[in-house]
């Protein structure tokens, strides 16, 4: 399993959560792209996302990982798509800065299921790109902020703006992480 984080505190928390679900998770075939407080290795992460999308490799994007998934997907239609965090003058800003930091336990929408999740982000998906074919975008209802995205016709290509690893424990693992692990178990490298 590849976990691409930029070596931050996110690396520790996602590894701990996955290990509590499946002690041998590192032997599974899948990719996790998590966030960081500053974008690092963006093009490498975008390439991992493209590879996962095209080869049906299970992929979970968390926070900035989801934002990078959105950029990569839009790039399959518009090659110069980007985030204003990475390129402030991009002509196709898929991810844009919000006025305020969005932090705390907030509602998250995934396929119509509303849960309370842990958010911490200052950038959001530009909803003018939400009508692209093949992607299911789940927005919160009040602010129209993307909370989850799922690529249709893919074994597991899910991005979340929230941090499921913070809501997961050994006794009550987060369902999204369990689903990701189970998807990885069905892939033969």
Tokens of 9: 């505190």
Query: 20 catalytic, yes or no?
Result: no
Catalytic, out of 154, 165, 174, 184: 165
Three-class DSSP category at 62? strand
Catalytic, out of 20, 63, 85, 121: 63
Query: 163 catalytic, yes or no?
Result: yes
The Cα 151–Cα 105 span in angstroms is 25
Q: At what angle do helices 175-185 and 9-21 cross, to 10 degrees?
A: 70
Query: 184 catalytic, yes or no?
Result: no
Catalytic, out of 22, 85, 154, 163: 163
The catalytic site residues sit at 63, 163, 165
């Amino acid at each position: 399993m590849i976990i691409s984080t930029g070596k931050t505190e996110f690396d520790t928390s996602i590894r701990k959560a996955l290990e509590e679900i499946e002690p041998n998770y590192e032997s599974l075939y899948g990719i996790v792209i998590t966030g960081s407080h500053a974008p690092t290795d963006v093009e490498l992460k975008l390439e991992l996302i493209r590879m996962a999308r095209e080869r049906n490799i299970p992929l979970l994007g968390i926070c900035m990982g989801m934002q990078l998934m959105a950029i990569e997907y839009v790039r399959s239609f518009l090659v110069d798509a980007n985030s204003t965090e990475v390129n402030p003058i991009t002509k196709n800003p898929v991810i844009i800065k919000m006025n305020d930091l969005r932090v705390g336990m907030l509602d998250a929408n995934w396929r119509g299921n509303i849960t309370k999740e842990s958010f911490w982000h200052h950038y959001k998906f530009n909803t003018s790109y939400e009508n692209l074919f093949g992607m299911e975008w789940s927005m919160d209802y009040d602010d129209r902020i993307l909370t989850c995205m799922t690529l249709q016709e893919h074994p597991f290509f899910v991005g979340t703006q929230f941090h499921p690893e913070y809501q997961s424990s050994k006794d009550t693992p987060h369902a999204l992480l369990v689903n990701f692990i189970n998807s990885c178990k069905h892939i033969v490298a």
